Chains A and B, each alone.
Chain A
Amino acid sequence: MSITSDLIRGHTETIILANLLMKDSYGYEINKSIKAKTNDQYELKEATLYSAFRRLEDQGLINSYWGDQETGARRRYYRITGEGKKTYYRNLEDWLEAKTLIDCLILEGGSYEQ
């Protein structure tokens, strides 16, 4: 699993962008959805999540605002920007291309058999 984690780590920012594409969200909700999508197999460390938020904000790909929760606690929500959407689609394209190439290169016999 540790190699898998390293592989996924490189895509942390794209994963976050993907989660914000449909709706604004906050840290824990994003992590919960990551966990649910991977059947509890993958989850981001809080520190990784926040450093990624800061980097994305610095690049203008997301922005944040303080939203009010029914419980009364102030919560920081993140929203994807237009630039963020563009970056997401470009990263997605890059990934699909890389995936196809790596499949060709490392699968035995060069063909994909399930």
Chain B
Amino acid sequence: MNNRIKAYVDSLFASYQNIENITEIKEELILNLNDKYDDLCTSGIPSDEAFIKVISSIGDVDEIIGVTKTAPEESDDSQPFTKSNYFVPLAVMLFILSPVPVIIMEEISSDVEFIGIVLMFFMIGIGVFLLILRGSSDSSGSKKKNRDREYTDNTAKTSASPSGNSRILNPAQNAIVGTLQGLIWIAAVIFFMIGIFNIGWTVFLLASLACVLVDMVVKAIALSEKINAERKLSPYVIQRELKWSVNAVIWLSATIGFFILSEWGVNHAWLIFLMGIALTQIFKLIMITKRGI
């Protein structure tokens, strides 16, 4: 073992202590550099010259850092929050609060009752709009592009992988999702208009849930096809997709559950939202541990 090589490599990686498996990377590098050094010395090259040759063969350390993930807890905290990340919780909040104006207006006077109803529909409308916006920015908007860029940055400047194919859905699949979701919304509006099933506007919550599920299923199919076709796909993109879909399903289910339970006259129906929080946390934990391995 040549201590000069070890010291040199240590100094090269000194500012990268938070990199995953840093010790193993260094161990592998030092071992191979030592082999090279020994071979050079055996072939009659003076040790100082051999040392210079060896360290100049390392190249750009940033290349290694670029393809290596930072430690899990680090990367999770540094995930950028874009506006559309707040759309789902905001929409759910609007759905929950929408009956409030009705209650307030009813209390004030029966003359202004209709204002409360109008406000309720207005809030539901905004909520639905946010959900649709979130869905569309997810499949074609700027957020996706940000994710792609993030991934390309992670895979180092020399990466030979084309950045274009980290999208999960191709335009045709996007169109299928769009059509299916459109049909779901039309059906929801019809159900709402004719007042079938006696569920009122909660039908829109069910429609949102159905949309997210359609999105998930199509993406899952597209993903398995892609894996079969051996195309490279960023694990970050898959994880983000999964994260947002699962969260959307949890929150929409919680909201629907809340209304059903309240309808049945169950006390403390709001506890279901605490369960929702617990579930998202458990899911987050699973994702982190998976990434750690």
Binding site for B on A (CB under 8 A): 9-10, 12-13, 26-28, 31-32, 43, 45-48, 50-51, 54-55, 58-59, 73-76, 83, 86-87
> Which residue in B31, B68, B155, B232 is a CB contact (below 8 Å) of A75?
B31
Please state if B67 and A46 are interface contacts (CB–CB under 8 Å): no
- Listed residue (B25, B39, B63) with the most chain A CB atoms within 10 angstroms of its CB: B63
Please state if A55 and B57 are interface contacts (CB–CB under 8 Å): no
Please state if A12 and B67 are interface contacts (CB–CB under 8 Å): no
Residues of chain A lying within 8 A (CB to CB) of residue B64? 47, 50-51, 54
Q: Classify the interface of chain A: helix, strand, loop or mixed.
A: helix
Residues of chain A lying within 8 A (CB to CB) of residue B32? 26-28, 31, 46
Please state if A76 and B28 are interface contacts (CB–CB under 8 Å): yes
Residues of chain B lying within 8 A (CB to CB) of residue A13? 160
Residue on B with the closest CB to A59? B232
**What total of A-B pairs shows CB separation below 8 Å?**
71
Q: Tell me, in angstroms, the Cα distance from A54 to B66 when the chains sit together.
A: 10
Interface size on B (CB < 8 Å)? 31
Please state if A86 and B230 are interface contacts (CB–CB under 8 Å): yes
Please state if B27 and A74 are interface contacts (CB–CB under 8 Å): yes
> Which residue in B35, B39, B66 is a CB contact (below 8 Å) of A51?
B66
Please state if B63 and A55 are interface contacts (CB–CB under 8 Å): no
Q: Tell me, in angstroms, the Cα distance from A58 to B238 when the chains sit together.
A: 14
Please state if B28 and A50 are interface contacts (CB–CB under 8 Å): yes
Please state if B59 and A45 are interface contacts (CB–CB under 8 Å): yes
Please state if B161 and A55 are interface contacts (CB–CB under 8 Å): yes
Q: Tell me, in angstroms, the Cα distance from A102 to B246 when the chains sit together.
A: 49
Residue on A with the closest CB to B56? A45
Q: Tell me, in angstroms, the Cα distance from A45 to B28 when the chains sit together.
A: 14
Residues of chain B lying within 8 A (CB to CB) of residue A87? 230
Q: Which of B1-26 contact A (CB under 8 A)?
A: 24-25
- Which 6 A-B residue pairings sit nearest by Cβ, starting from the closest? A45-B59, A47-B59, A28-B32, A54-B67, A47-B63, A51-B63
Residues of chain B lying within 8 A (CB to CB) of residue A32? 39
Residues of chain A lying within 8 A (CB to CB) of residue B58? 45-47
Distance (Å) between the CB of A14 and the closest chain B CB? 10
Residue on B with the closest CB to A64? B28
Distance (Å) between the CB of B90 and the closest chain A CB? 35
- Listed residue (B24, B35, B68) with the most chain A CB atoms within 10 angstroms of its CB: B35
Distance (Å) between the CB of A78 and the closest chain B CB? 10
The answer, yes or no, to whether B36 is at the interface (CB within 8 Å) is yes
Q: Tell me, in angstroms, the Cα distance from A76 to B28 when the chains sit together.
A: 7
Residues of chain A lying within 8 A (CB to CB) of residue B155? 55
Known: A54-B67, A55-B161. 11 other contacts (CB 8 A): A43-B57, A47-B58, A47-B62, A50-B29, A51-B63, A51-B156, A51-B158, A55-B159, A75-B31, A76-B24, A86-B230
Residues of chain A lying within 8 A (CB to CB) of residue B62? 47
Residue on A with the closest CB to B35? A28
Distance (Å) between the CB of B219 and the closest chain A CB? 20
28 contacts between A and B (CB under 8 A): A9-B158, A13-B160, A26-B32, A28-B31, A28-B36, A45-B57, A45-B58, A45-B59, A45-B63, A46-B32, A46-B59, A47-B63, A47-B64, A50-B25, A50-B28, A51-B64, A51-B156, A51-B158, A54-B68, A55-B67, A55-B160, A58-B67, A59-B232, A75-B28, A76-B24, A76-B27, A76-B28, A86-B230
Q: Tell me, in angstroms, the Cα distance from A86 to B36 when the chains sit together.
A: 32
> Which residue in A10, A51, A74 is a CB contact (below 8 Å) of B67?
A51
Residue on B with the closest CB to A73? B31
Distance (Å) between the CB of B72 and the closest chain A CB? 16
Distance (Å) between the CB of A13 and the closest chain B CB? 6
